Amino acid sequence: MALQVHADIRSLSPYVPGKPIDELQRELGLTRVIKLASNENPLGPSPKALAALSGAQAMLHRYPDGGAYQLRQALADRWKVTSEQIILGNGSDELLGLLARTFLTPGDEAIMADHTFVIYKMEVTAVHGKPVVVPLVNWTHDLESMARAITPRTRLLFLCNPNNPTGTIVSAEAVNRLMANVPEDVLVVFDEAYFEYVRHPQFPDAMAYVMQGRNAIVLRTFSKIYGLAGLRIGYGVSTPEIIDFLNRVRPPFNANSLAQKAALAALGDDAHVAKSRAVNEAGMAQVGEGLRALGITPIPSEANFLYFDAKQDGRRVFDALLREGIIVRHIEGTMIRVTIGQPDENTAFLQAFKNIVNGAR
Ligand SMILES: *Cc1c(COP(=O)(O)O)cnc(C)c1O
Query: Is 33 a member of any domain?
Result: yes
pLDDT of res. 27: 85
Average pLDDT of the chain to the nearest whole number: 96
Domain range for residue 323?
Answer: 7-45+271-360
DSSP 193-237: TTGGG---TT---HHHHHHTT-SEEEEEESSSTT--GGG--EEEE
Residue of minimum CA distance from atom 6 in ligand 1: 91
Can you say whether the dihedral through the CA atoms of 24, 26, 29, 33 is positive or negative? positive
Residue after which a domain boundary falls, among 232, 250, 269 = 269
Q: Does a structural domain hold residue 1? A: no
Residues 161-180 pLDDT 10s: 999 999 999 999 999 999 99
Same domain, 75 and 155: yes
Position 304 scores a pLDDT of 98
**In this structure, which residue's CA is closest to atom 12 in ligand 1?**
193
Instruction: Identify the pLDDT of residue 361.
Output: 60
- The percentage of residues in the chain with a pLDDT greater than 70, rounded to a whole number, is 99
Q: What is the CATH number of the domain that holds 86?
A: 3.40.640.10
1 pLDDT above the threshold of 90:
no
Residue 117 Cβ inside 6 Å of ligand 1? The answer reads yes
Do 162 and 148 lie in a common domain? yes
Check pLDDT > 90 for residue 23: no
**What CATH number did the domain enclosing 325 receive?**
3.90.1150.10
Residue 2 lies in a domain: no
Contact (Cβ atoms closer than 8 angstroms) between residue 187 and residue 215? yes
- Write the pLDDT tens digit of every residue in 88-128: 999 999 999 999 999 999 999 999 999 999 999 999 999 99
In the chain, the number of structural domains is 2
The answer to the question of residue 12 being in a domain is yes
Q: Is 229 in the pocket of ligand 1 (CB under 6 A)?
A: yes
**Mean pLDDT of all residues in 73-95:** 98
Residues 101, 27 within the same domain: no
Q: Separation of 356 CA from ligand 1 center, angstroms?
A: 30
Residues 254, 90 contacting (CB under 8 angstroms):
yes
Average pLDDT estimate for 180-194: 97
Pairwise CA distance, residues 302 & 18, whole Å? 21
Ligand 1 atom with least separation from CA of 116: 13
Do 295 and 220 fall within a single domain? Answer: no
Which pTM does this prediction carry? 0.96
Any ligand 1 atom below 6 A from CB of 255: no
Mean pLDDT of 198-225: 98
C-alpha of residue 193 to centroid of ligand 1, in Å: 5
Cβ 91 under 6 angstroms from ligand 1: yes
- Choose which residue among 117, 123, 231 to substitute to test ligand 1 binding: the one with the highest number of ligand atoms within 8 A of its C-beta: 117
pLDDT, one tens digit per residue, over 239-271 is: 999 999 999 999 999 999 999 999 999 999 999
What pLDDT is recorded for position 77? 98
Evaluate: CB of 191 within 6 angstroms of ligand 1.
Answer: yes
* Per-residue pLDDT at 18 exceeds 80: no
Last residue of a domain, one of 213, 245, 269: 269
Ligand 1: nearest atom to the Cα of 191: 11
Tell me, yes or no, whether 159 and 298 share the same domain: no
